[in-house]
Amino acid sequence: MKLTGLRRPLTRSAHFAIYGHMTTTKLDLTGLKCPLPALKTRKALKALKPGDLLEVRCTDPLSVIDIPNLIRETGDTVEITERAERGIVFLIEKANGLIEKANG
């Protein structure tokens, strides 16, 4: 598992220009099988501040189901879901944490 903090958005899209001041963390989960991508994503999200971004790279085909379900649970937002030849990429924005605290 690789975690690295960056001070720039992952995309050049104008839509994400507002995130330039937030931290983007990359999480490489390639090669891991269900349920590890969802579990490691949950753990990484707990360490982030509201507004921070988490880029998750997976190769497990079930992650297209598991990670969006996780994000619905935590109240965070999936900004981008990209399917590439070598895997799936999610860009997740950390929410303010109110739903996660309520779920305890």
> What letter represents residue 93's amino acid?
E
Span 64-96, pLDDT tens digits = 999 999 999 999 999 888 888 889 999 999 997
Half-sphere exposure of 8 (CA within 13 A, CB side): 4
- pLDDT the model gives residue 97: 59
Q: Which helix (H) or strand (E) holds 58?
A: strand 53-58
Can you give the pTM of this predicted structure?
0.72
Domains of the chain by start residue, with CATH: 21-103 (3.30.110.40)
Half-sphere exposure of 97 (CA within 13 A, CB side): 9
Positions annotated as catalytic residues are: 34
> What letter represents residue 7's amino acid?
R
pLDDT band at 98 (very low <50, low <70, confident <90, very high): low
- pLDDT the model gives residue 4: 43
Cβ(36)–Cβ(58) under 8 Å?
Answer: no
Nearest CA-CA partner of 15 in 75, 80, 83 = 80
- pLDDT the model gives residue 86: 82
How far is Cα 102 from Cα 36, in angstroms, rounded to an integer? 24
- pLDDT the model gives residue 1: 42
Span 4-62, pLDDT tens digits = 443 333 443 333 444 455 789 999 999 999 999 999 999 999 999 999 999 999 999 99
Cβ(71)–Cβ(37) under 8 Å?
Answer: no
